[in-house]
Amino acid sequence: MSNPARVALVVRPGENPQPFVDAIAHGAGESVVIESDTELPSDVGGLMVAGEAGFLSSDSLPVALAQAIDAGFPVLGIGWGMHALNIALGGEHPIAVEGHGDPSEDPTKHTSFMAPGGKVGYTIAGSGWVTIPSAHTHGLLPAQVADGLLSSMYAEDQVVEA
């Protein structure tokens, strides 16, 4: 049996990393939780940047994110992390959105479109309209997404979901 993949994990300051640690463990990985101002550990094979809140203009980009991008490491951004990745690559800050739930409550279900050719559709071998649980107060519109990033899923109001 091989060793589990080691994944550095940065969450938005003040948020609990445990749900993301659990997700990495569920995928047979081992998480290395680091602070936003900490450099990327040399013994990891990828980086997850995550958080429930939107990335605000007062937030700082995680140090490890720039290092992972420069080194060509795999990076997965979830929520706050997706916004941070977008900004790090030259995209715009997210905007406040209505009707997408509140992260402090149970996720709101809404209809989203999985784009053909995107990672989400490729991973589950499909594309089209699906109903997903989602809870976020900030989001990106297609024109705000950094050049080079491919949006894989859109809500009915065009907010990028993945």
Average pLDDT on 118-127 reads 74
pTM for the predicted model, two decimal places:
0.84
With vertex at residue 48, the alpha carbon angle to CA 108 and CA 135, rounded to the nearest 5 degrees, is 10
Per-domain residue ranges of the chain: 5-88, 95-155
CA distance 120 to 136: 19
For the cut 80, the answer to whether the pLDDT of residue 133 exceeds it is no
Contacts of residue 111, Cβ cutoff 8 Å, sequence gap at least 6: 129, 130, 131, 155, 156
Q: Greater confidence, 126 or 19?
A: 19
Q: Do residues 33 and 9 touch, judged by C-beta distance below 8 A? A: yes
Contacts of residue 110, Cβ cutoff 8 Å, sequence gap at least 6: 99, 100, 131, 132, 134, 155, 156
| CATH class label, 5-88 | alpha beta
pLDDT in tens, 22-79: 999 998 899 999 999 999 999 999 999 998 877 777 788 999 999 999 999 999 998 8
Q: Residue 106 carries which DSSP code?
A: P
CA distance 106 to 70: 37
